[in-house]
Structure 1
Amino acid sequence: MSVTTAPEASGSARREAWAQRGRGVVGLVRRVPFTATVVLAMVVLGIVTGAFWSPLADGANAIDLAYGPPALLTGHVWTLVTGALLAGHPALYVLTLGLFALAVGWTEVRCGTRRTALVTVAFQFAAVLLTVALVLALATTPWVWAGGLAGSLDTGFSAGMFAALAMVSATLHAPWRLRLRLVLVGVALVGLLFLGGLADVEHCLALVLALPLASRLAGPTAAPAPATMHAGRREWRLVAAVGLVVIAAIRVVTLVVPVIGPLGDTASDSSVVETVISVVISLLLAEGLRRGRRPAWAVSLVLGAFYALLGLVVIAAVVWGHVTGQMDQVELAGLAVFVPNAVLWTALLVWLLVGRSAFAVPSRRTLRRRGARGPAADPKAARLALHVHGGSTISWMTTWPENRYLATADGIVAYRVHAGVAVALGDPVVEPARLGDALTDFRALAERSGWVPCLFSTTPALADAARAQGWRALQVAEDTLIDLDSLEFKGKAWQAVRSAFNRADKSGIEHHMVHLGEEPRALVAQVRAISEEWVGDKGLPEMGFTLGGVEEALDSEVRTGLAIDAEGTVHGVTSWLPVYGPDREIVGWTLDVMRRKNEGFRAVVEYLIASACLTFQAEGARVVSLSGAPLARSDRDPEGAEPVLDRVLDQLGALLEPYYGFRSLHQFKAKFRPRHEPMYLVYRDEGDLPRVGIGIGRAYLPDAGVRELVALTRSEAT
């Protein structure tokens, strides 16, 4: 019998970890053989030719390796292959290899190896050959830029990469298909206008060839394309905002790194101060456009019209100079920067005009003025809707005063706004057949107001209705349900609960189910003291949103379970929210507040919950919900909707566990052998997730200051 020492075990673990990583790499290579082969060929050829450590342009054999008009006119056809596998400068190799591996590898996974290889190679060759033909044709004109390109060489597989990305865009669903295509066109167009190298012309031609054929190139992997490409309010706003950010970035780049573009030297004659002021204005307008603000739209429209008109005047002056032969009288200084900027502003102007309905959000002052004139949010409307339609196990939380309300055709949506995110609480309170309509109304309200919409802790029915409209859904919690019809605390599995009953009897503690608002002040004061003692131990403010407190327990329709001894001392408290079915029928109760005195007997909470279940069972209720512990669940989302957000929520749950005990609470509820139903976060798409996370965090901790949150993260790190 041998004994493995600790160092040997540690070394064995490291070897096994390396072996697993190796198997992971091999598995990845097997999934993308074309991409892996090209990347390997790039590395090998870079080493053999010395391009890894010496710029290709400095070598005498550049014309033998790089493609371009000089090489092809000389008959060096093989440069179409060698040039594609090289980078012009050692510093570009990391970028070249990385972009190709990510872009083409992703395409290969989605579209298959044969299709990806054929499209990437064919369109690379086609774009290069067409670029050479176009440049040689333009070089016969007086255009200095074209004459310079006629003597240039180029390297890289980027044209084929652009074509591959154009193809893979056809496999994406809205809105990512439109977004990817706009990014590709934007990058290619900006490169052509401001840089104007051979590669920039190749990129544009590759997209001109590949984008119209993208669905056919993708074949069976293409996603169903809509009859018409329709952009929602959010897309109009996002594209306009990004356009302004690009314009601001170009101002900085032309100031710092001027180049010789198609229209000449792009060196800016603006000062640093002028550039900073321009960039700040552009970024402020971009933020306003992203939120759909009407004032930002109007200012951007004026600026776009100004640049477009001025651009027409400049172009007319240049044409007049050519026609009359008086070009020496036309001032061309700054033309290489101004004309491309005018083109971008004109494109933005057209976009703003066509999508003007997406930018109808008034200024904040106007919104506040309207809010002051309009009716205040009325929880009574939510209460009435629940009485009529019924709701989920957390729907009573829609009556809490912190909520805002959207009235739908026959119901209501309760939501809160934090960090520009409209977070709806649970399902809309409507007839089940109208869930889709309520979702549409809520999304329209959020986009009109410049908010990011999401719904938190929804039922599977709402998640299904949302997916049918193109939303995404991710499980974020589990509802823990106890069916009361056949509940009996008998058998070994319920030993802990029976022990709690026995301990209560020995201590002279009785269970009282009351309406807390009707109880004497002295008793309510004890309940408040227990709650404040619990909150004071946390080091953070009391959480809200889906977690109520004593104030919510004072509601006339909420019931409170109290564990009281013979001397009138309260040892523990639970509060129960009504779960309504249609026509005012209460079908169950949901646990909200669950707290005990620190010096009381530890099983008092088990006693309170079990006693409440028996009380509600005797009254004819069908189900008790122990509610869903936020950021806690027993397993992963089976659909794997968004693994990145999955990990973020797990980390947030772990961070808050020492303070609020969500996961411990989830494990505690398992004592009552509940069944679980998933609760979902519903959101528009992955682009919203960073802001949605912030919005939900602020909804739970609206009063937490920066100092408290920093203290939380520091203490968790230690």
Structure 2
Amino acid sequence: MTAPVVPKSADEPVARTRSRVGYVLRRTPFTASFIVALLAVGLATGTLWRPTAEQSWYSQVATGIPSFADGRWWTLLTSPFFVDHPLVYLTLLPLVVGGLGWAEWRFGSLRTMAIALGGHIVGVLGAAGILLLVSSTGWHWAVRLTESVDVGPSCAAFTALVFAIATLPAPWRLRARIAIALWVGISVLYLGELYDLEHAVAMTAGLAVSGWLPAFRHPVGRPTQREWRLIGLSGLVAVGVIQVFDLIVPFNGPLGENHPTASLIDVAIDVIVIALVANGIRKGYRVAWIGALVLGGFNLLTAALGFALLPALVDTGALDSPRQVFALLLAPALLWAAILVFLVIGRGAFRVRLRQSRRVLPAAALTRDELVHRLERFGGGTISWMSTWEANQRIASGTGAIAYQSHAEVAIMLGDPIVPEGGHADALEQFANATQQAGLIPCAFSAGGVSAAAKPDGWRSVIVAEDTIVDLPGLAFTGKAWGAVRTAINRAGREDISFRMVRLAEQPWNVLAQVRAISEQWTGDKGLPEMRFTLGTVEEALDPAVYVGLAVDAGGNLHGITSWLPVYGPAVARDDGSGETEPRIVGWTLDLMRRRDGGFGPVMEFLIASSALHFSEAGYEFVSLSGAPLVRPEDAQAGPVDQVLDQLGALIEPLYGFKSLHRFKQKFNPRSEPLYLLYRDEGDLPRIGIALTRAYLPDASMRDLVSSAVGISSHGAS
């Protein structure tokens, strides 16, 4: 019997995985070598399964004041290759991979080796120096640590991690540094072991040096509303962690010794109260801000009362020493005091109303007519007319306008702001500030290149669609590239299919009935309601400002419909010398596309080509065939966010065929312009994804989405 042949498709994932692993190892040889050495030492000495601290030779490889006092300075080089206990490998190896590996990926092997070695030496010697100075005061904690020794590469890994974090963009850099500062502060003050002090020294030095080096130096300005809320949230989380330490974790650190006796119910109540207030602070709720002030004031009064009663409690014998409760009072009191000062200074960031119905943007609302007037004056992008649709909210931005929709606590700006030339940056900044004051997450969807270039500092952009534009001057369907279009036009002539460009609202009832019937038939085949937001329906096609192309046979039967939205350029001066301006339509954007089942085959090619010729003869500059959502240029570099969007596009492709539609439009030889999603940072993307789903499918129920997902899965499996 011959061995079965493995299909090539089964080998390819394995080969790709091996290639990626090989690439990672080539980029991080120092990290890989150190991990191998760490495990090899553990295997050779048996400390992979036995605690190192129990070995007779432990003091010969561990660092600390006793080792240095005996002249064992070589321990600075030996200690990183050992760990105290086998279980420590479970937490240490991810730290080494994340800290050293990330730094080596960003800085290279030699620089990472220098950072790691420097961090290890600074952490160990710095902690020893601090203990020598402080222990002379007789502080029990410091005296105890002067007798301790330690092993492990954690100082090196943490320092490398701090330097790698310095390369993060805002606001992730601030978030990571806050997390490190909280972790270091809590661990060294409460747990207070030798390695906690070493970590604190190493990471404090790493934060200082990485912030001082020109390569990592960033301008510091007044915190944004979001940063105020983030820092307030971090302080409350720290208080919550301290509460847990005080109530359930025994410790013997710099603040004293603690033997907790609290019940689980007490802990749960404290944590729940703080979590509720902290979540409100994160969202900028005014009521949460007031709650935090009240909670902080109560804790400060409680601490003050406790300090006042300490002498009496000692005198009566209730306490042997004030140190028994000192740790329970001092650190939370200091942190609450700092939080209260911070909240008072940053009070402007916490003005969001609790009731969603009362959250309005601090900007003047505009009527549809007012927005149209500004659009006619300043012009807009290829989808700007969609801002006149009913579902949008409209606000003023200086003399311009912005249209947006609010879903799932996200404000989605539709397209570009409608502003004078050069006003995009100010409009986007004003929109971001206004939405954040209302407790909403700002973003802009299907924005053009001008807006992408003018996005606020720190914002990200990702291509979410590709606009396809056909220039009309000199348009002629000649040459091989237009073969499919010519075929459709010629076939329409043979089958007596004619083209009509009309205003749908002016058509007789029998035409409107056919249009609605064709659209309802198309919608019913999808299994989901019609998509909205940047995709219009028959109701939008009834707008008197919109043109509609019809394909009609000799019997008056409709075979297809296309709707075209006006694209305004900046208004031009009148010729009469009055100084007044008049609106100027420069192009048209394709919106609604519907065809009758069983009708004329190439009806869409015929309708789009005939419409383009009609607009070309009328003297317009271009037609936009519109951008298919979740379609990016093939040559665009794909980052992690792009890859997620590609997977989402592939998921819904069987339902709406965006990629198929994009390929269809290539028959008209268009030029392409990217459309962007502008957003603050990756932390907003999950919420933005939910908001966009609701914007596109406002009438879809959870049952519709689940049944469609099942249908997609079965389609893919068949």
- For residues 208-255 of structure 1, the C-alpha deviation after alignment (integer angstroms, 9 at most, x for no partner) is 333332245x55xx14521x3432111111222233334334545665
Greater alpha carbon shift after TM alignment, 506-515 vs 28-37: 28-37
Greater alpha carbon shift after TM alignment, 380-389 vs 151-160: 151-160
Q: Distance in 1 between matches of 2:289 and 2:633?
A: 47
Matches within 5 A, 1:31-110: 31-110=27-106
Q: Distance in 2 between matches of 1:654 and 1:319?
A: 71
| Structure-1 residue corresponding to 2:128 | 132
Q: Which amino acid aligns with 1:344?
A: L
Matched, 1:457 2:446: yes
Secondary structure, counterpart of 1:562 in structure 2 = strand
Evaluate the alpha carbon distance shift between residue 458 and residue 251 of structure 1 in structure 2; reply closer, same or farther with a 3 A threshold.
same
Matched, 1:574 2:567: no
Matched, 1:480 2:468: yes
Given that residues 173 and 223 in structure 1 are in contact (C-alpha distance below 8 angstroms), is that contact kept between their aligned partners in structure 2? Answer: no
| Structure-2 residue corresponding to 1:527 | 515
Evaluate the alpha carbon distance shift between residue 546 and residue 334 of structure 1 in structure 2; reply closer, same or farther with a 3 A threshold.
farther
Evaluate the alpha carbon distance shift between residue 71 and residue 375 of structure 1 in structure 2; reply closer, same or farther with a 3 A threshold.
closer
Question: Shift of residue 709 of structure 1?
Answer: 2.0
Given that residues 589 and 625 in structure 2 are in contact (C-alpha distance below 8 angstroms), is that contact kept between their aligned partners in structure 1? Answer: yes
Matched, 1:225 2:239: no
Q: Which amino acid aligns with 1:542?
A: E
Given that residues 454 and 681 in structure 1 are in contact (C-alpha distance below 8 angstroms), is that contact kept between their aligned partners in structure 2? Answer: yes
Instruction: Give the fraction of aligned pairs with identical amino acids, expressed as a percent.
Output: 45
Matches within 5 A, 1:74-473: 74-216=70-212, 218=213, 222-226=215-219, 228-252=220-244, 257-315=249-307, 328=319, 335-364=326-355, 367=358, 378-466=367-455, 469-473=457-461
| Structure-2 residue corresponding to 1:686 | 682
Q: Distance in 1 between matches of 2:4 and 2:344?
A: 70
- For residues 317-355 of structure 1, the C-alpha deviation after alignment (integer angstroms, 9 at most, x for no partner) is 668999x99994766665544443334333322332232
Question: Shift of residue 535 of structure 1?
Answer: 1.1
Structure 1 length-normalised TM: 0.91
Root-mean-square deviation over aligned CA pairs: 2.8
| Structure-2 residue corresponding to 1:510 | 498
Given that residues 363 and 434 in structure 2 are in contact (C-alpha distance below 8 angstroms), is that contact kept between their aligned partners in structure 1? Answer: no
Question: Shift of residue 543 of structure 1?
Answer: 1.0
Secondary structure, counterpart of 1:438 in structure 2 = helix
Q: Distance in 2 between matches of 1:497 and 1:694?
A: 39
Secondary structure, counterpart of 2:478 in structure 1 = coil
Q: Which amino acid aligns with 1:453?
A: P
Question: Shift of residue 627 of structure 1?
Answer: 0.2
- For residues 71-103 of structure 1, the C-alpha deviation after alignment (integer angstroms, 9 at most, x for no partner) is 333433232222222222222213212112212
Q: Distance in 1 between matches of 2:608 and 2:9?
A: 46
- For residues 521-580 of structure 1, the C-alpha deviation after alignment (integer angstroms, 9 at most, x for no partner) is 222122111111111111112111111101111111011111122222221111110011
Question: Shift of residue 366 of structure 1?
Answer: 7.4
Evaluate the alpha carbon distance shift between residue 164 and residue 6 of structure 1 in structure 2; reply closer, same or farther with a 3 A threshold.
same
Q: Which amino acid aligns with 1:470?
A: G
Q: Distance in 2 between matches of 1:694 and 1:577?
A: 28
Secondary structure, counterpart of 2:411 in structure 1 = strand
Secondary structure, counterpart of 2:455 in structure 1 = helix
Q: Distance in 2 between matches of 1:374 and 1:429?
A: 15
Q: Which amino acid aligns with 2:350?
A: F
| Structure-1 residue corresponding to 2:598 | 599
Matched, 1:633 2:622: no
Given that residues 241 and 289 in structure 1 are in contact (C-alpha distance below 8 angstroms), is that contact kept between their aligned partners in structure 2? Answer: yes
Q: Distance in 2 between matches of 1:365 and 1:9?
A: 59
Q: Which amino acid aligns with 1:622?
A: E
- For residues 605-636 of structure 1, the C-alpha deviation after alignment (integer angstroms, 9 at most, x for no partner) is 11111111111111111101110000113415
Q: Which amino acid aligns with 2:558?
A: V
Evaluate the alpha carbon distance shift between residue 264 and residue 709 of structure 1 in structure 2; reply closer, same or farther with a 3 A threshold.
farther
Secondary structure, counterpart of 2:632 in structure 1 = coil
Given that residues 112 and 160 in structure 2 are in contact (C-alpha distance below 8 angstroms), is that contact kept between their aligned partners in structure 1? Answer: yes
Q: Which amino acid aligns with 2:344?
A: L
**Counterpart among 694, 700, 708 of residue 698 in structure 1:** 694
Evaluate the alpha carbon distance shift between residue 366 and residue 425 of structure 1 in structure 2; reply closer, same or farther with a 3 A threshold.
closer
Matched, 1:556 2:544: yes
Q: Distance in 2 between matches of 1:60 and 1:329?
A: 39
Q: Which amino acid aligns with 1:41?
A: A
Q: Distance in 2 between matches of 1:553 and 1:477?
A: 22
Evaluate the alpha carbon distance shift between residue 318 and residue 76 of structure 1 in structure 2; reply closer, same or farther with a 3 A threshold.
farther
Greater alpha carbon shift after TM alignment, 239-248 vs 123-132: 239-248
Structure 2 length-normalised TM: 0.91
| Structure-1 residue corresponding to 2:618 | 619
Evaluate the alpha carbon distance shift between residue 314 and residue 158 of structure 1 in structure 2; reply closer, same or farther with a 3 A threshold.
farther
Question: Shift of residue 172 of structure 1?
Answer: 4.0
Given that residues 541 and 704 in structure 1 are in contact (C-alpha distance below 8 angstroms), is that contact kept between their aligned partners in structure 2? Answer: yes
Given that residues 98 and 161 in structure 2 are in contact (C-alpha distance below 8 angstroms), is that contact kept between their aligned partners in structure 1? Answer: no
- For residues 566-611 of structure 1, the C-alpha deviation after alignment (integer angstroms, 9 at most, x for no partner) is 2222211111100111111111110000011112122111111111
Greater alpha carbon shift after TM alignment, 607-616 vs 701-710: 701-710
Given that residues 84 and 157 in structure 1 are in contact (C-alpha distance below 8 angstroms), is that contact kept between their aligned partners in structure 2? Answer: yes
Evaluate the alpha carbon distance shift between residue 13 and residue 602 of structure 1 in structure 2; reply closer, same or farther with a 3 A threshold.
closer
Greater alpha carbon shift after TM alignment, 260-269 vs 153-162: 260-269
- For residues 257-298 of structure 1, the C-alpha deviation after alignment (integer angstroms, 9 at most, x for no partner) is 544443345454433223223222222222211111111111
Q: Which amino acid aligns with 2:682?
A: E
Evaluate the alpha carbon distance shift between residue 267 and residue 589 of structure 1 in structure 2; reply closer, same or farther with a 3 A threshold.
farther
Secondary structure, counterpart of 1:633 in structure 2 = coil
Question: Shift of residue 154 of structure 1?
Answer: 2.2
Q: Distance in 2 between matches of 1:682 and 1:69?
A: 54
- For residues 131-162 of structure 1, the C-alpha deviation after alignment (integer angstroms, 9 at most, x for no partner) is 12333444455544334323333222222333
Q: Which amino acid aligns with 2:382?
A: T
Question: Shift of residue 410 of structure 1?
Answer: 1.4
Q: Which amino acid aligns with 2:339?
A: L
Q: Which amino acid aligns with 2:56?
A: A
Q: Distance in 1 between matches of 2:126 and 2:149?
A: 14
Secondary structure, counterpart of 1:432 in structure 2 = coil
Q: Distance in 1 between matches of 2:507 and 2:365?
A: 30
Given that residues 194 and 340 in structure 1 are in contact (C-alpha distance below 8 angstroms), is that contact kept between their aligned partners in structure 2? Answer: no
Q: Distance in 1 between matches of 2:259 and 2:540?
A: 64
Q: Distance in 2 between matches of 1:319 and 1:47?
A: 56
Greater alpha carbon shift after TM alignment, 128-137 vs 540-549: 128-137
Q: Which amino acid aligns with 1:348?
A: I
Q: Distance in 1 between matches of 2:286 and 2:441?
A: 17
How many residue pairs match? The answer is: 702
Evaluate the alpha carbon distance shift between residue 308 and residue 206 of structure 1 in structure 2; reply closer, same or farther with a 3 A threshold.
farther
